[in-house]
Amino acid sequence: MECPKKFGFLCVLLLLCITAEAAVVVSETSIPKILAKYGLPIGLLPDSVRNYSLSDDGDFKVELENPCEINFKYLVSYDTVIQGKLTYGKISELSGIRAKKFLLWMRVTGIEVDIPNSGYIYFHVGAISKKLDVALFQSVHKCQDSFGKRDKNESQPALAERDVQ
């Protein structure tokens, strides 16, 4: 692409925008299919994904409808935005996911499975890892708000008469 000198800066800027746009993939492929393609169980993220992006180098960003929790063997909390780096069998540089152990919430910094598959998945919390059965994550789970109720988009039962008095 050749540009006149007085428009050189605009041409470079346009070229950078086109290149940056090509590096980020946002498609109709579902998150569970992407996780499976990378050798990870499909149920690592809840069913309430609104949007996501995945770059060629594996950097990803997932946006959920709402922050929520899922009770696996431990209570896991998901922020509205989850980010990290995806490689085969592993998510590193993870942010937006926490797990509750006893009364403490701990930030999950990475997730990984054995290659070949041993049936276990490892959640990294800083330098500590917790091994869980991968079967817990083989299906996509419903998002729950922090009070254990279903996603806010689902209908809620009417208040009982005694609750209104």
pLDDT at residue 6 in the model: 54
Across the range 79-105, mean pLDDT stands at 96
Terminal Cα-to-Cα distance of the chain (whole angstroms): 73
Q: Does residue 156 register a pLDDT over 80?
A: no
φ, ψ at 137 (rounded to 5°): -120, 20
pLDDT at 90 over 90: yes
* pLDDT reading at 152 higher than 50: no
> What count of Cα atoms within 13 Å lies in the side-chain half-sphere of residue 41?
25
Nearest to 144 by CA among 42, 44, 45, 46: 46
Alpha helices (H) along the chain: 8-23, 31-37, 161-164
Per-residue pLDDT, averaged over 80-101, amounts to: 97
Share of the chain above pLDDT 90, in %: 61
d(CA 145, CA 155): 13
Distance CA 21, CA 74 (A): 38
Position 112 confidence tier, pLDDT thresholds 50, 70, 90: very high
How far apart CA 151 and CA 161 sit, in angstroms, is 24
Tens-place pLDDT, residues 7-58: 444 333 333 344 344 344 455 689 999 999 999 999 999 999 999 999 999 9
User: Residue 60: pLDDT above 60?
Assistant: yes
Task: Please tell me the predicted confidence (pLDDT) of residue 11.
Answer: 36
Task: In whole angstroms, give the CA distance from residue 129 to residue 124.
Answer: 4
**Which of the residue ranges 62-66, 119-123, 126-130 would you say has the lowest mean pLDDT?**
126-130
Of 22-31, 134-143, 148-157, the one with minimum mean pLDDT is 148-157
- Per DSSP, the three-state class of 30 is coil
Q: What is the mean pLDDT of residues 102-118?
A: 93
CATH fold label, 28-151 = at5g01610, DUF538 DOMAIN (2.30.240)
Q: For the whole prediction, is pTM greater than 0.85?
A: no
DSSP letter (8 states) at residue 157: P
State the pLDDT at residue 126: 82
Residue 64 CB partners (closer than 8 Å, separation 6+): 45, 46, 48, 49, 50, 78, 79, 80, 81, 82, 143
